[in-house]
Amino acid sequence: MNHLSSQDPEIYAAVEQEVHRQNYGLELIASENFVSRSVMQAQGSVFTNKYAEGLPGRRYYGGCEFTDVAEDLARSRAKQLFQCDWVNVQPHSGASANAAVYLSCLKPGDTFLGLDLAHGGHLTHGSPVNFSGIWFQPTYYGVENDGRIDMDRVRDKAKSVHPRLISIGASAYSRDFDYEAFRTIADEVNALLWMDMAHPAGLIAAGVLNDPLPHAHIVTTTTHKTLRGPRGGMLLIGRDFENPFGKVAPKSGRIRKMSELLDSAVFPGMQGGPLVHVIAAKAVAFREALQPEFISYARQVQKNAAVMAASFLSRGYEVVSGGTDNHLILVDLRSRNINGRDAEHALQSAHITVNKNMVPFDDKSPFVTSGIRLGTAAVTTRGFQETDIESVVTLIDRVLSAPTDASVRHKVQTEIHALCEAHPLYDFVTA
């Protein structure tokens, strides 16, 4: 990074400091991970210079012959990875991929049904401050007192509101989904079924969680998180189908496939030129996820999460739903005399990064919260095993048991640095 250090020393210093933070701190935010050098190099490549509106072979700009190679590789590898008919790798983010679903499947004011944000849902699944809640009519299902979704309650809700679209997926739900049951409900009320697998995508690709593609009409995902790629989004269809809304293709008069509607919703519907450098990095990440080592990684992520949940429970913490099936743990702190915001700050000062998070039936605001959300994807990438996870929970407990004691945080910080040095991450910037 000699050019950056000489041309913009202030940004270079920020990069150096961030490398140091990642190297010597514990990253436990469930939506974050660490990409490989190859992914980083592809994302930092000359493809960042190229405009490429349209799809491979059908661009609105010249000079896209090598762009087409990169995007075709990303598409073919994603299809192989998820065993599906169709993908679109152009969405800039999971949110823009989700927006393409709404644009393709709903009209303004249409009703859809999704998981309540306060029970683990996502901002783009109907939050009143998000486009999904502003332009459309969201209705919600939630979790029960045991922290799990009751499919009978979902059916009752669907029959009462008659949604045009039912969404699955969450940002803070630690259990697997019963996609077959969701599809049965969707068919009963004549709704489309959409799964946002942004969080568990890598675990689904590796076969350690249930696969939504045989059941959901449409699937969206981010390409980071457990998939361990660059920050971006993607749309997938297991088996393409004629859209149920009677939309016809121009001139031909034939019923358009859902894949065509989604392609058009991405461009020109939601965004202009794709980020070709990010698409190239997605292709690299998909190739990595097709290797046997990735299955081992995904299994370890799941094992580490189970150990983390059990370790919290053994220390008297309340874990929502009593455990986890995936990479994510949601800890309810209401019995520990500390709120989520203060817990996040205390842990951050000890170089342990988590995020405050609402828990089901929370009595505190989203800016304070009663819980913290943790995930094992990033620490597993750097080589943490079950015994390391137990050590991590011990250190977290020490901080949360004395959150205002600076000496405790300092001692924990020293132990965190030693633990991180035993599992080195990046060494390409001197920090």
Residue in 202, 183, 219 with CA at minimum distance from that of residue 87: 219
- Could you say which architecture CATH assigns to the domain 292-421? Alpha-Beta Complex (3.90)
Q: Burial of 249 by CB count in 10 Å (0-12 exposed, 13-18 middle, 19+ buried)?
A: exposed
Contact 220, 98 (CB under 8 A): yes
Instruction: Mention every residue, 6+ apart, whose C-beta is less than 8 A from residue 293.
Output: none
Options 27, 116, 196, 362, the catalytic residue? 196
Options 51, 68, 111, 303, the catalytic residue? 51
**Mean pLDDT across 235-246:** 85
Q: Phi/psi of residue 166, each to 5°?
A: -115, 130
Residue 396 has pLDDT above 90, yes or no: yes
pLDDT band at 164 (very low <50, low <70, confident <90, very high): very high
Taking only the tens place, the pLDDT of each residue in 352-366 is 999 999 999 999 999
Residue 253 has pLDDT above 80, yes or no: no
pLDDT band at 228 (very low <50, low <70, confident <90, very high): very high
3-state secondary structure the chain: CHHHHHHCHHHHHHHHHHHHHHHHCEECCCCCCCCCHHHHHHHCCHHHHCCCCEECCEECCCCCHHHHHHHHHHHHHHHHHHCCCEEECCCCCHHHHHHHHHHHHCCCCCEEEEECHHHCCCHHHCCCCCHHHHHCEEEEECECCCCCECHHHHHHHHHHHCCCEEEECCCCCCCCCCHHHHHHHHHHCCCEEEEECCCCHHHHHCCCCCCCCCCCCEEEEECCHHHCCCCCEEEEECCCCECCCCCECCCCCCECEHHHHHHHHHHHHHCCCCCHHHHHHHHHHHHHHCCHHHHHHHHHHHHHHHHHHHHHHHCCCEEHHHCCCCCEEEEECCCCCCCHHHHHHHHHHCCEECEEECCCCCCCCCCCCCEEEEECHHHHHCCCCHHHHHHHHHHHHHHHHCCCCHHHHHHHHHHHHHHHHCCCCCCCCCC
Options 222, 226, 376, 380, the catalytic residue? 222
Residue 254 has pLDDT above 90, yes or no: no
Active site residue 231: yes
Among left, alpha and beta (phi > 0; psi -120 to 50; other), residue 34 is beta
Active site residue 180: no
Q: Work out the mean pLDDT of the chain and round it to a whole number.
A: 95
Please identify which residue in the block is written with the tokens 């896209």.
64
Residue in 238, 23, 194 with CA at minimum distance from that of residue 99: 194
Residue 203 has pLDDT above 70, yes or no: yes
pLDDT band at 430 (very low <50, low <70, confident <90, very high): very low
Alpha-carbon dihedral sign for residues 241, 220, 377, 393: negative
Taking only the tens place, the pLDDT of each residue in 321-345 is 999 999 999 999 999 999 999 999 9
Q: What is the pLDDT of residue 247?
A: 61
Residue 429 has pLDDT above 50, yes or no: no
Instruction: Mention every residue, 6+ apart, whose C-beta is less than 8 A from residue 425.
Output: 22, 23, 34, 382
Contact 15, 2 (CB under 8 A): no
**Mean pLDDT across 68-97:** 98
Write down the H helix ranges in 34-64: 37-43
**Mean pLDDT across 210-238:** 98
Question: Whole-model pTM?
Answer: 0.95
pLDDT band at 1 (very low <50, low <70, confident <90, very high): confident
Residues 157 and 165: their CA atoms lie apart, in Å, by: 13
Active site residue 102: no
Amino acid at 233: G
Residues 140 and 148: their CA atoms lie apart, in Å, by: 14
Active site residue 32: no
Taking only the tens place, the pLDDT of each residue in 15-29 is 999 999 999 999 999
Q: What is the pLDDT of residue 427?
A: 61
Lowest average pLDDT, out of 224-238, 241-255, 401-415, goes to: 241-255
Q: What is the pLDDT of residue 371?
A: 98
In the beta sheet, which residues pair with residue 335? none
Residues 212 and 82: their CA atoms lie apart, in Å, by: 10
Q: What is the pLDDT of residue 243?
A: 75
CATH, domain range 41-289:
3.40.640.10
Contact 227, 253 (CB under 8 A): no
Active site residue 430: no
Residue 2 has pLDDT above 90, yes or no: no
DSSP tag of 226? G
DSSP tag of 254? P
Options 231, 256, 341, 409, the catalytic residue? 231
Residue 212 has pLDDT above 80, yes or no: yes
Q: What is the pLDDT of residue 244?
A: 72
Q: What is the pLDDT of residue 431?
A: 30
Q: What is the CA radius of gyration of the chain?
A: 22
**Mean pLDDT across 107-126:** 95
Please, what is the angle between helix 340-349 and helix 406-421, to 10°?
Answer: 60
**In the chain, what are the domain boundaries?**
41-289, 292-421
Active site residue 53: yes
